[in-house]
Structure 1
Amino acid sequence: MLVDGAGSAEAAMRAATATVPQRLLAWYDRHARRLPWRSPPGTPPADPYRVWLSEVMLQQTTVAAVAPRFARLLARWPSVAALAAAPLDDVLHEWAGLGYYARARNLHACAQAVAAAGGFPDTEAGLRALPGVGDYTAAAIASIAFGRRAVVVDGNVERVVARLFALEQPLPGARPTIRRLTDTITPDLRAGDFAQGMMDLGATICTPRAPACALCPLREGCAGFASGRPEAYPVKPPRAAKPQRLGTAFWLTRGDKVLLVRRPAKGLLGGLLALPTGPWSDAAPGLDGAPAAARWRLLDGTVQHVFTHFRLTLALATAAAPSDGLAPDAIWWQADRIDEAGLPTLFARAAARFREDT
């Protein structure tokens, strides 16, 4: 039977896709990144505590930023039992600068649950039942730490698979399809190495811009490469502009100390020490929400921070505290040791600006 050119190309593409696991694993065996939470390719799985800890830390944080912080956290709490026994405030303090403090609270709660159970469950279903462990993290731990076959799709894998199949459906609606396609190429054996290899390929070769297709072990059979425009995948919807919010941060001093507040347990930056602020809204910032009636002075300039869903610009106001009118249990922190307070990045930058003014 004769097959036309398009049919031949499609058949060749299917045949090439069928060999993805072998080619990817062979590449990973030679080019795997050396990371402190990993076991080398082909060796027994890494300690589940290290795998879990790294996966939580890597959520929306780069490998370069996580690696030194991972080592520091592991040195301080070398086991899940040690982390479970730590005070939550210590964990939140150690987490400063890694963003999403809800992850730190879930990290602590999960450690306590695992310590109480005597160890990590070794199935996706058991792992998903832990605090803060979703589908991706459960699949990653099951495959990397326990050698289970699991479909692991992070941002890097998402990009590789969308290009491999030239998926025209835009994100985020394409994600179920990407997961299904990833399932079709995930091997039964060495699933953890395969998942880490796909992550490494996306991080080092199949990059968002200017992918190094000439070096890619999956170039043969990659529909995105064949299209001549691999950067077009995954297809993304137009990015919506983030709303802008405004507010004021207050630096209230009493002698050599500065007033801090603990933010509500629920909500953004929940449970953390911070500088007092007024409301965050689209109105021009003023002195609403000031922690005391004082002679406030506005500094030149602002501090800006980008959260997931909005941008925030804080004006900066400073004053000396009055002799009365503040709660007796107010938190007064040594101003020259403010770096030890574990302030979130936004407030750490504001504190640095205030200290430059003094």
Structure 2
Amino acid sequence: MLGTKSYIAKSVESMQPSGIRKFFDLAAGMEGVISLGVGEPDFVTSWSAREAAILSLERGLTSYTANAGLLELREEVSGYMNNRFHVSYQPKEEIILTVGASQALDLALRAILDPGDEVVIVEPCFVSYAPLVELAGGKSVTVETTSDQQFKLQAAALEQAITSKTKALLLCSPNNPTGAQLDKKDLEEIAVIVKKYDLLVIADEIYAELAYDIPHTSIASLEGMRERTILINGFSKGFAMTGWRLGFICAPSELAAAMLKIHQYAMMCASTPAQYAALEALKTGMKDVEEMKKDYRRRRNYIVQSFNDMGLDCHTPGGAFYVFPSIRSTGLTSEQFAEELLKEQKVAVVPGSVFGNSGEGFIRCSYASSMEQLQEAVKRINCFINNR
């Protein structure tokens, strides 16, 4: 410390470190660990996308792009969103390329929140949601979901959480950590409440490509919702491009302009080689996406059945690459279960409690691992349970 006073902002000083990172750090120092905690694909980026990035470097395309990103890529994103999810955005004024979907979420919150504004967050939820709301000066208000309802947000519960200070709903479907997917009917019921109270929706749709049983529906595609939705997506999950750090925002021009102002000062633009890789991924990579999805679906079915067979109730998630089994029957808290499983059987999972109060009694397991690793992890978890 430089002096007697604290130089750390109070909002940061009171912030808890990521609960996911804690278990990654514990596992990192152990040999022979199988990690079901990682939230990224085990596939590599398609060769055509990697080659496009290499070619861009060989051609010397290493300068800044426009703040909003390469226009050619924004045009391709526009076509992709229209063709895949039936929602249309103007490339020049309504699409921004960002440094991952995480930066997109930060931009959205900072652009719309004044001090004291409330954002409704659906739990269990990704660990960054509440901290990012608070860093933007807002207040997070949680709505809990339950396994009985397959962790889907109920419109009635949403309405009960709304106050005169509520400005937005932050919605993630398919969901991290539960894999819950909201279908069109679910979203239509939610949209009625959103319009009734004149709210914005920040729609985190980063797992949109990883929907296994029914096609993904974007809430922005519903009548009257495009103009009140900030849609966030990217290339990390569906295109196996986590390390490239490239996401995008689609929003009405007035909202997009506000976010672009922040982006100009905070980030300038997204990585140029990453943008060329993403451009190629959209043009030629959909076959790879479908192959990945097919393999994820097979793994999902295996691990859901395995957890249910060993007595850990597990609903079948509609999307993403996580399962969220209940461990209440063991009598352990989710953190105890995760710590003891790691120590005794060298399997890393994430305790559900890090995703909010309604996550207690559950663990998050990623099936973005090879089938061989999943099979071995299932054996070890089964042994852990049977030895208790």
TM over 0.5: no
Q: Whose relative contact order is higher, 1 or 2, with alpha carbons under 8 Å and at least 6 apart?
A: 2
With structure 2 as the length reference, what TM-score do the two structures score? 0.24
Mark the structure with the bigger radius of gyration.
Answer: 1
